[in-house]
Chain A
């Protein structure tokens, strides 16, 4: 049997006091695809979303979202790359989860990202979302930053994996 090529590149756990961002720098270009698995909670603001940016650039991003909130489904667009997150006003100790699949991250084509995210907190409203995102850049992805509208809370985590297709 061939060798598994789904490997952990790096991981981060936010420490006491929170952090304004989680950033993966110097991502090696030796894989085919990236997978980013995130568990986060915001320290204060209840904005319900956090953000992804690449290579320190916050332009040329677009997406279509499909979302359910426990009572209805909706679809909308935005000019960034978002995922659902929990905040300080949500149930204590509840963290949102997201997974982003980033194929061909070193190619010169624009980057199409498939992601899903969820935030369940045993309250009247919770969210699940599938997102089609596009970063319209021909640059290879070498950095990924996770930010929110307030600090990321302690114990927020992010794991970056690389997948090779051969």
Chain B
């Protein structure tokens, strides 16, 4: 039988005043997967996309596929060769939650996949998958609001999961 898995807090941040980005830096390479929990709101009515970038890379190395519902219709969309990963939120001034899984983030052989569940009862429910076309280990994760800013009190928490 495998040893018990771990689910360990790496870092957490509470937005003190409206800000458009926050970055987790110096992420340890001792876990298997990462989980990012975002909970909060945007300062603008929006809806406003959230996004991620890794290791400061703003090249056109990101792609994503979305399945989402807005309370009326179910829709799907995708984007390729983008400079951000637009998959981690569709936020308004209503409180929202995003749960983001980043698999095998420390490997230096394969591109990195991201799975996200973005839920905002004031706007949408969204499943998303993203790809960062880089073999570099992820050492930093930037969370950004494409429009508006993250409201004060918004929290970002980074967890590491490992088979101990």
Contact = CB atoms under 8 A, between A and B. Distances in A.
A131 B122 CA distance: 12
A139 B68 CA distance: 30
A55 interface: no
Instruction: Name which of A68, A109, A132 has the most chain B CB atoms within 10 A of its CB.
Output: A132
Contacts of B4: 4
Contacts of B164: 1
A103 B38 CA distance: 8
Given A75-B73, A113-B97, A165 B68 contact: no
A109 B125 contact: no
Interface stretch (A15-23, A59-67, A149-157): A59-67
Nearest to B155: A104
Interface string A50-90: 00000000000011111110001111110000000000000
Prevailing SS type, chain A contact patch? strand
Contact of B9 (A114, A115, A132, A166): A166
Prevailing SS type, chain B contact patch? strand
Interface string B1-43: 0001111111010000000000000000010000001011000
A112 interface: yes
B5 to A, nearest CB: 8
Interface in B97-151: 97-99, 117-127
A74 B122 CA distance: 17
A93 interface: no
Given A114-B117, A130-B119, A132-B125, A5 B7 contact: yes
A132 B119 contact: yes
Interface in A26-52: 32-33
A163 to B, nearest CB: 7
A116 interface: yes
B7 A75 contact: no
Interface residues of B, number: 43
A110 interface: yes
A2 interface: yes
A73 B69 CA distance: 9
A59 to B, nearest CB: 15
Given A66-B69, A131-B125, A111 B95 contact: yes
B81 to A, nearest CB: 26
Given A1-B162, A115-B119, 4 more contacts: A65-B125, A75-B74, A76-B72, A130-B127
Interface of B: 4-10, 12, 30, 37, 39-40, 67-74, 94-99, 117-127, 153, 155, 157, 159, 162, 164
5 contacts: A2-B10, A64-B71, A64-B124, A66-B124, A109-B153
Interface of A: 1-6, 32-33, 62-68, 72-77, 101, 103-104, 107, 109-116, 130-134, 163-166
